[in-house]
Structures are given as C-alpha cells and as structure tokens.
Chains A and B, each alone.
Chain A
C-alpha cells in the first residue's frame, strides 16, 4: 500500500473528527433516558389497556346476547365473536411486544428482521380479513336459515363493510409495498464500478464533471 491513500484517509479522518456537529447543551444522562423510557412504557401500557377494554366490551356484548337468547345460532355467533376478538387482541399485543426493544443484531440480520416484520404486517391483517369474510359468510347463512326477512338488509350491510375493508386493504398493501421499496432502496449495495450499468448510464459511474472539492 502506498502512502498516498493513507494520507488521504488521515485527511478524511481529521476532517471527520474536526467539528462535532450540533453538540447538545448538556450530554444525555442515564436519569434522563430512564425518564423517557418510563414514559414510553406508560404509553405502551395505555395502548394495551385500551385494547383489553375494547375486547372486554365485545366479550360483554356477545355474552349479553348469549345470555338473553341462548339458542344455537346465537350461541354459535357469540362464540365466533369471542374467538375473533381473542385472536385480534392477541395479535395486537403480540405485534406490540417488541416495540420497546432495541435491536443489537448485525445490520444484515436487522434488515432481514425488518423484511420479516413487513411480511407479518401483511399476513396478520390478511388473516383477520379472512376471519371477517368467514364471519360474514356465517352471518349470511345465519340470516338465510333463521331470519330470511333480514337477509337483504344484512347482505347490504355486509357488502358495505366488505367494500370498506377491501378499500382499506388496497391502501394498506400499497403502503407496505412503499415501505418495502424504501427498505430495498436504503439497503441497495451499489454495483461494482466495472459492472455494466443500465442503458445510457455510461457503466462505471464516471460521468460529466461536477464541482471540484478541495478537502
């Protein structure tokens, strides 16, 4: 190795360390970080409590109907609401479980985990949507057999819900796709200089001269 690259590197290192950018008025201390962590934890707990309360409300509604009219169809409907809500609650808590953890994995593992998380964020709502579709199919069958006079109205309500869910799913998948594209863009390793570039790119990355910078 010649001296030139080392001199250049030394020069860069000197520049790199020459001026710490925007130094804070006071260095961050453990006590301050502990306070912030407690605030984050309180917020996470508040979300979890809200989820549990909402789930309990749904449980109570299902239990009320099951208690009031303990017929087979109502019992089946109540149980389906119980199961659906329990799955949704479990999913909500599970997906928040690592919100407070900080990854100390290598960058490659971390990026792989980010991709996996994106896949899960797609799989979980897809599963919930399938459950909702099953619930609607069950509801329509329920009305067709036991309350045919309500079937038309139920079909319109379910249809409206299905349209809203389909629109949301389309938007949500689009957003996930955007996040995937962004992650790919962030982690894209540039091609070696001698690799052929896209048409019109000129190949090796050398192009028209820009400004000369004297560092």
Chain B
C-alpha cells in the first residue's frame, strides 16, 4: 500500500474513528489522544492486512482493540470499576444536555453510560456496519449480534427516555 493510498484510507475512516473515540472518552484531550493512538495502531497494523476481511472490519477491529487497551491502561482505582462496567459516570446529566439542544452530545452521553460491549455494538451499527461485519469485529456469531443489538438498543432507548436508573 502506497503512502497516498494510506492517506486516503485514513481520511476515509478518520471521522468514524473520531466518533468511536468520543463514545469511549468524554474528556476532549484524552479523546484526541485516543484518536491518535487508533490512527497509529491502524498505520502499524495495515502492512499485515491480507484482505481476509473487509476494510471496515479491519479498521474497527484495530480501533476497538486500541480503545479497549486505552481504557484498560488508565488503571482507575477500584472505586472506578463499576463505572467502567457500565454504571453511569458523573457526566453532565442528559436532561441538561437536552435542554441545550445538543442531540449529538446527548446520544454520546447515553452511549458512554452503557457497558462497553453494548457500546461497541451500537457504535458500529450506527456507523452502518452490517451484522456480519460486526460479528467479524467482535468475534461472535451474526445471531448473537442480532440478539445483543436488540438488548443494546433497548438499553439505549431506556437511557434516553430516562427510564433506566443510574
């Protein structure tokens, strides 16, 4: 792959990677760090890509793995483990964000309150990855994707409707 092709690939996927990073990191500086880590990981992994899966599958595998490493390397104290497990963090309350009319931030805030596996599923589905691609990224079956996605959507719906407890 030439540098020009690499540039094109990065340009093609960078916006999606930025959205993905935003679902993992609330802090803008840490989010930018994560984006850079994802891009660097992608750049390092690309020479080994043998096109055995689609480009999007490959990109999302590398990016999600990098994001997981990023979260795991933050070494939060034990008190933060529940937060990592999906119990909501003290982000700006959804109602406050909604009042400001920031739908994108509202959705992001709700996504960040979901457990990581559900978050991964939803972000990839929102990026229009097919169930097969999502299954390949996560290493699960397509049926499993469908079942988990239904649950994740229900969880997101509850969060956005305010029916889910903190």
Contact = CB atoms under 8 A, between A and B. Distances in A.
Interface of A: 5, 8-9, 12-24, 27-31, 33-34, 36-37, 100-111, 114, 178-179, 181-183, 185-190, 192-193, 205-215
Given A17-B19, A22-B31, A110-B61, 20 more contacts: A12-B126, A17-B126, A21-B22, A24-B35, A28-B10, A28-B14, A30-B7, A100-B44, A101-B44, A106-B138, A106-B139, A107-B139, A108-B138, A114-B72, A186-B68, A186-B71, A206-B164, A211-B93, A212-B95, A213-B162
A108 B42 contact: no
Nearest to A108: B139
Given A102-B66, A179-B72, A206 B155 contact: no
A180 B34 CA distance: 22
Contact of B116 (A34, A114, A186): A186
Contact of B31 (A21, A33, A188, A189): A21
Interface in B89-113: 93-95, 97-98, 102-108, 110
Interface residues of B, number: 85
B93 to A, nearest CB: 6
**What 6 A-B pairs have minimum CB-CB distances, sorted nearest first?**
A106-B139, A108-B139, A207-B165, A211-B95, A102-B41, A185-B85
Interface of B: 3, 6-7, 10-11, 14-15, 18-19, 21-22, 28, 31-32, 35-36, 39-45, 48-49, 58, 61-62, 64-66, 68-69, 71-72, 75-76, 78, 81-82, 84-86, 93-95, 97-98, 102-108, 110, 115-118, 120, 126-128, 136-140, 148, 151, 153-166
A104 B49 contact: yes
Contacts of B95: 211-213
Contact of B18 (A22, A114, A181): A22
Given A30-B7, A178-B78, A187-B117, A209 B162 contact: yes
B155 A207 contact: no
Nearest to A101: B44
B94 A211 contact: yes
A30 B6 contact: yes
Contacts of A182: 72, 75-76, 81, 84
Contacts of B93: 211
B102 to A, nearest CB: 8
Contacts of A214: 98
Contacts of B166: 210
Nearest to A201: B165
B140 A108 contact: yes
